[in-house]
Chains A and B, each alone.
Chain A
Amino acid sequence: MEQIKSGRKNICFVIWVLILFIAIDFILSYWAPVERSTLFTKNDYEKIILSQGRKEFDNVFYGNSVAISAFIEEESNSGYINFGIDYGTIADLKNMLDKKMLTVNKNLVIALNYFVLMDTLDTNPTYPWHRKQYEPYVFFQRDRISSFIKRCIQSLLTGKEIARYDNLNRSVYYGVMTDEELDGKIRTHGELFWDLGVENYEKNLAALEDLIDYCEENGIRLRAVWMPWNDYAQMPEIPQQVCKIADDIMRSRGIEVLDMTDAFSRECFHDLGHLNYEYGAHVFTEVIDEWLIS
């Protein structure tokens, strides 16, 4: 009898702990304190959603950091939102749309370059679509929570106030790199990216096809623009092949594509792909606006 009572007590304890754990996880996932509070660092997706106050848009201009630094939505008359996110890929966009983390009602333009199609590129692990269904909220946000706790302890030890992250501006690029700096970039990119075979782009190329299907099914007008490339360096062979494959996919599916690869001169660029914000971005926005409105 004692054993049965003890057994029940033990099982009740385990069940209650599990229920508490699941309940807390559910509440935290719904409340999303890390995403909302300025006490935690923000990723580009969160910055956009917090500054816009919504996840549903009529017209979206999507891309990676190249898009962030190229399109100035405040200067555009097209009504497109700059939805560029750091390390953003086509697969990320498809994930956002599938999981209703982004809803596009009318027009979607994807700002393309080979990085947007690269499977093996580092991503920002805090983007919410990376969270697996079985992952507890606290575990998924562990890096930012851990950073917050560290800052609290540091604040206690040093007496300084805890820093807040209320700047919702995404990173843009200023200035023009010198020849030496560009040569350094070419060396780095050459070592890290340019020899990666086409198989390292397969998932995103497949995601591109899925995106086209999604847009067709949902009545979204999909278009694409090949982002400018600094002619200081020749576009490397394999990335060029990948871009050709993506281009063929889009054209075969009737997607309107604007090629701006060779459209800009060197003074518009910060580095090989990013336009500088003080000049290149203004030129880009002005040039693309007409096409966006069309």
Chain B
Amino acid sequence: MWYLQGETFLLIAIFSLAVAILRKLFPRRLINVLLPVIETGILFYISIRLAVFYIAYIIMGLIFSYVLFKTRSKYLFALFSALATVPFFLSRADAFGLELPVVFVSIGIAFQMLKMIDAYYYVYYAGEPINGLVYINYMLFLPVFTAGPIFRYRDFHKTYDKPLVLDSNLFTDCFKRLIRGMFKKVVLVEITYLVLNHLVTIDNHWYISSTVVVISYLLLYLDLSGYSDIAIAFGKIAGFDVPENFKKPLQATTFTQFWRSWHATLSDWIREHIYIVVAKKKLGRMVSALIALATMVIMSLWHGFNKLYLIAGVYNGVLLMIENLLSMTTVNRKKTKKSIYVLRCAAVNFLFGLNTLVFTVAPDKLIPVLRGFLKL
């Protein structure tokens, strides 16, 4: 998380401001050439190994995209997508009990891998070639280099061709958003974490466990939305319309809706990249439900390979499956009583809150918290 390190935070802030100023002074074409040069320079300053690895990774991606465009081979598409994941799995080899030498610096690989695969999907399914300069800018874009929101290649291309015009209103909004993001990420997360740590030590009853779930939800929200705010603010200052990651998740009445509003760019990415493979095929309710399960399991394991994350993925997947099988994926707000609507929002968010415990509570404290629900 680069935004918590003073030097990298300052570098990205200077980078974004410099890009904003350069856009006022020089034509867009020159900026588009300068950007990757500046970004590569910053990466070299941060770590030579990091820069060398990503230059090689990006070149590989570029070559494979070109070959894929020329051949449109589904086997090469599968092979290249698999190869893009190799550094990711290597960096997580210890989760499989393997001690492999990792010679590259893997900061941001979980996100960069998704971006590379998205580019392959773009070439294969849209049948469009990758623009080399756009691709390099896409992969190196600093505000979202180590974390989300996850840019899709086509969305990045759009904003790359038509960058945001930085006026005083936009700049002030970004400035306020930056302060908000830092406050959430640095101050509120610390305080919330402290409260959570205190609560898990108390003798658990259902009301304590419920409070733990609510605080855990809040903690995760503050952490993830905090860094999203910072990334979006810096991205917009630099002229790029970075997608929103959190779209009022508290107002989601179904899990289907929830996953389009919580860490939206990640869940959208996984869902769309699975569905596009099975598109044009008639899917039964059961198959759709199983795809929903697979989406959740993959998303959970992407965060980490261990039993707890697997259980969390299955839990989220089963909830989605049930919705799919019972055709309860949407709620008509106008036809639903307000009290039922609010109850459904609370239920969905609370049930998701149970899942957040995996990310926020130490494994040895998890069972006592869950047992607390059975104590009156």
Instruction: Give residues in A with beta carbon < 8 Å to B.
Output: 6-8, 10-11, 13-14, 17, 132, 134-135, 139, 142, 146, 149-150, 153-154, 157
Contacts and interface: CB of A to CB of B under 8 A. Distances in A.
Contact of B172 (A14, A150, A154): A14
B171 A135 contact: no
A115 B10 CA distance: 33
B173 to A, nearest CB: 9
A17 B175 CA distance: 10
Interface string B332-343: 000000000000
A14 B190 CA distance: 26
A32 B158 CA distance: 49
A13 B172 contact: yes
Contacts of B10: 134
Interface of B: 6-7, 10, 167-169, 171-172, 175, 179, 186, 190-191, 194-195, 198
A185 B167 CA distance: 62
A139 B6 contact: yes
A149 B198 contact: no
Contact of A153 (B168, B169, B194): B194
Nearest to B9: A139
A234 to B, nearest CB: 31
Nearest to A140: B6
Enumerate the 10 nearest inter-chain pairs by beta-carbon distance, A residue then B residue, closest first: A10-B172, A7-B168, A10-B168, A150-B194, A14-B175, A11-B168, A146-B190, A135-B6, A153-B194, A139-B6
Nearest to A136: B6
B108 to A, nearest CB: 23
B171 A10 contact: yes
A10 B10 CA distance: 22
Contacts of A153: 191, 194-195, 198
Contact of A132 (B6, B168, B172, B175): B6
A10 B169 CA distance: 6
B168 A157 contact: no
A168 to B, nearest CB: 28
Given A10-B168, A17-B175, A153-B194, 4 more contacts: A11-B172, A13-B175, A14-B172, A135-B6
Nearest to B174: A14
Nearest to A151: B194
A146 B187 CA distance: 8
Nearest to B173: A10
Contact of B169 (A6, A17, A150): A6
A135 B6 CA distance: 7
B198 A154 contact: yes
Contacts of A8: 168
Contacts of B186: 142
Given A132-B6, A135-B6, A6 B168 contact: yes
A25 to B, nearest CB: 13
Nearest to A21: B179
Nearest to B202: A157
A19 to B, nearest CB: 13
A232 B172 CA distance: 66
Contacts of B175: 13-14, 17
A9 to B, nearest CB: 8
30 contacts: A6-B168, A6-B169, A7-B167, A7-B168, A7-B169, A8-B168, A10-B169, A10-B171, A10-B172, A11-B168, A11-B171, A11-B172, A13-B175, A14-B171, A14-B175, A132-B6, A134-B10, A135-B6, A139-B6, A142-B186, A146-B190, A149-B190, A149-B191, A149-B194, A150-B190, A150-B194, A153-B191, A153-B194, A153-B195, A157-B198
B45 to A, nearest CB: 14
A149 B189 CA distance: 13
Nearest to A153: B194
Contacts of B168: 6-8, 10-11
A17 B171 CA distance: 13
A7 B169 CA distance: 6
A11 B168 CA distance: 6
Contacts of B7: 132
A150 B192 CA distance: 10
A118 B268 CA distance: 49
A163 to B, nearest CB: 16
B308 to A, nearest CB: 26
A225 to B, nearest CB: 37
Nearest to B197: A150
Max count, chain A CB within 10 A of own CB: residue among B167, B169, B172, B195: B172
Contacts of A17: 175, 179
Max count, chain A CB within 10 A of own CB: residue among B7, B190, B191, B195: B190
Contacts of A149: 190-191, 194
A157 B194 CA distance: 11
Contacts of A14: 171-172, 175
A172 B175 CA distance: 49
Nearest to B186: A142
Max count, chain A CB within 10 A of own CB: residue among B167, B168, B169, B171: B168
A142 B5 CA distance: 12
A13 B175 CA distance: 10
Contacts of B171: 10-11, 14
A150 B172 CA distance: 32
Nearest to B194: A150
A104 B132 CA distance: 60
A157 B195 CA distance: 9
Nearest to B193: A150
A135 B7 CA distance: 8
A160 to B, nearest CB: 13
A221 B268 CA distance: 69
Contacts of A150: 190, 194
A146 B175 CA distance: 24
Contacts of A146: 190
A173 B69 CA distance: 69
B16 to A, nearest CB: 14
A142 B186 CA distance: 9
Contacts of B6: 132, 134-135, 139
B6 to A, nearest CB: 5
